[in-house]
């Protein structure tokens, strides 16, 4: 399995996800089978972070394929419904012509006009006829309606068949990407299992400490904002979900932040969009949906959902994007903090805005 390492950024710490990897219960990849049997704690930390970043990249592709599957299902169903409805209309037209033919046959024979209606190729029959005097204007109109519906039905059936074939290909792609994600997580778990119990506990403690520090900073910043506005009630004293800076950010942004804060502690599950579990873009999309704004499904698509801003221009509610492939997204809550759904095994939590390789922000509203 190839490793897609990116250049290290010494000024920006990478998020630890060791508790996350321990939760994965999947098969091991072929690469891990040939890895160093006794890696150091630092080597495990680096490789596990890489594996989770790679899994996140595939998760974005997985989410895109899931979205395409849903769209293809809807389009195929609409086409099939349209075909069924069109077939009923065509049958009614043919039945009306058949009734006339039966009556004429019983009375001694069919007129040329009715023979024309019953032609296997009515359009060609009309084209070859030297004159349309042999049929009434109304009969010619019905005949052309029959021919038009036959063409439309043939085209819709072909489109529906193509959609269904593409749908099956997409479902196969989804399974392939899901297996790839699980393989990455499986390798991360196997690496962690090579460490001693003490080393694993140290890594998990470091991760918990980083999350606790981010939470503390967010609460302290919210408390300072509250005091500067003259309020005597301290948000940090009454809740573990501090509000963002109240001096900036639209009402939509503030509503999205509040929604995201209500999900602190909810588990990360790749492909999920809430309300009980989320992946990164699932959380941001769900939060803004509660504020009345619809966002695209993937982080790459959400990156084009508003106006791009630099880190110095960030306001509470802005979406923040990470890694060169734009494979991770969170919500800026102010004072250098974000809320996000990190990775498998973790939960919705706060983090520093520079805890991952920052790319840019996007102001949605």
| 4 is a catalytic site residue | no
DSSP assignment of 108-124 equals T---HHHHHHT-SSHHH
Q: Strand 319-322: give its sheet, edge to edge.
A: 307-309, 358-363, 319-322, 328-334, 337-340, 349-352
DSSP secondary structure letter of residue 324: T
Q: Three-state DSSP class for 311? A: helix
Pairing of strands 328-334, 319-322: antiparallel
DSSP secondary structure letter of residue 29: P
Q: Which residue has the tokens 């006829």?
A: 129
Compute the half-sphere exposure of residue 86: CA atoms within 13 Å on the CB side of its CA. Answer: 19
- Which residues does 157 contact at the CB level (< 8 Å), separation at least 6? 83
Q: What's the rounded Cα separation, in Å, for the pair 18 and 191?
A: 10
| 340 is a catalytic site residue | yes
Q: Three-state DSSP class for 8? A: coil
Q: What's the rounded Cα separation, in Å, for the pair 228 and 176?
A: 53
Note whether 271 and 289 are within 8 A (CB).
no
Q: Give the tokens for residue 255.
A: 């509503």
Q: Give the tokens for residue 298.
A: 């993937």
Q: Which of 4, 34, 52, 280 is catalytic?
A: 280
Cα angle, residue 345 at apex, residues 196 and 300 outer, rounded to 5°: 130
Helices within the chain (DSSP H only):
18-23, 30-33, 41-106, 112-117, 122-128, 137-193, 197-228, 235-238, 251-261, 280-290, 299-302
DSSP secondary structure letter of residue 278: B
Q: Three-state DSSP class for 255? A: helix
Catalytic residues: 280, 328, 340
């Amino acid at each position: 399995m190839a490793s897609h390492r990116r250049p290290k950024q010494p000024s920006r710490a990478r998020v630890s996800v060791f508790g996350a990897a321990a939760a994965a219960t999947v098969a091991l990849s072929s690469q891990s089978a040939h890895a160093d049997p006794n890696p150091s704690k630092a080597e495990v930390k680096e490789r596990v972070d890489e594996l989770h970043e790679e899994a996140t990249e595939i998760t974005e592709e997985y989410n895109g394929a899931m979205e395409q599957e849903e769209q293809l299902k809807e389009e195929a169903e609409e086409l099939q419904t349209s075909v069924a409805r069109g077939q009923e209309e065509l049958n009614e037209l043919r039945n009306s012509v058949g009734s006339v033919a039966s009556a004429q046959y019983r009375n001694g024979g069919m007129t040329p006009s009715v023979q024309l209606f019953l032609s296997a190729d009515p359009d060609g029959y009309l084209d070859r006829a030297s004159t349309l005097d042999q049929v009434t204007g109304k009969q010619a109109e019905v005949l052309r309606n029959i021919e038009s519906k036959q063409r439309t039905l043939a085209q819709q059936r072909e489109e529906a068949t193509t959609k269904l074939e593409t749908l099956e290909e997409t479902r196969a792609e989804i399974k392939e990407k899901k297996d790839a994600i699980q393989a990455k997580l499986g390798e991360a778990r196997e690496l962690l299992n090579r460490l001693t119990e003490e080393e694993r506990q140290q890594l998990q403690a470091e991760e918990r400490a980083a999350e606790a520090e981010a939470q503390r900073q967010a609460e302290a910043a919210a408390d300072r904002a509250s005091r500067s506005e003259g309020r005597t009630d301290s948000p940090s004293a009454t809740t573990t979900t501090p509000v963002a800076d109240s001096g900036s950010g639209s009402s939509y942004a503030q509503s999205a932040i509040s929604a995201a804060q209500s999900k602190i502690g909810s588990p990360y599950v790749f492909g999920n969009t809430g309300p009980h579990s989320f992946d990164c873009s699932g959380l941001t999309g769900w939060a803004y949906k509660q504020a009345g704004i619809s966002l695209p499904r993937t982080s790459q698509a959400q990156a084009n959902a508003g106006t791009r801003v630099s880190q110095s221009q960030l306001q509470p509610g802005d979406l923040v994007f990470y890694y060169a492939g734009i494979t991770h997204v969170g919500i800026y809550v102010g004072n250098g903090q974000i809320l996000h759904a990190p990775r498998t095994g973790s939960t919705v939590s706060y983090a520093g805005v520079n805890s991952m390789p920052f790319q840019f922000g996007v102001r949605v509203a």
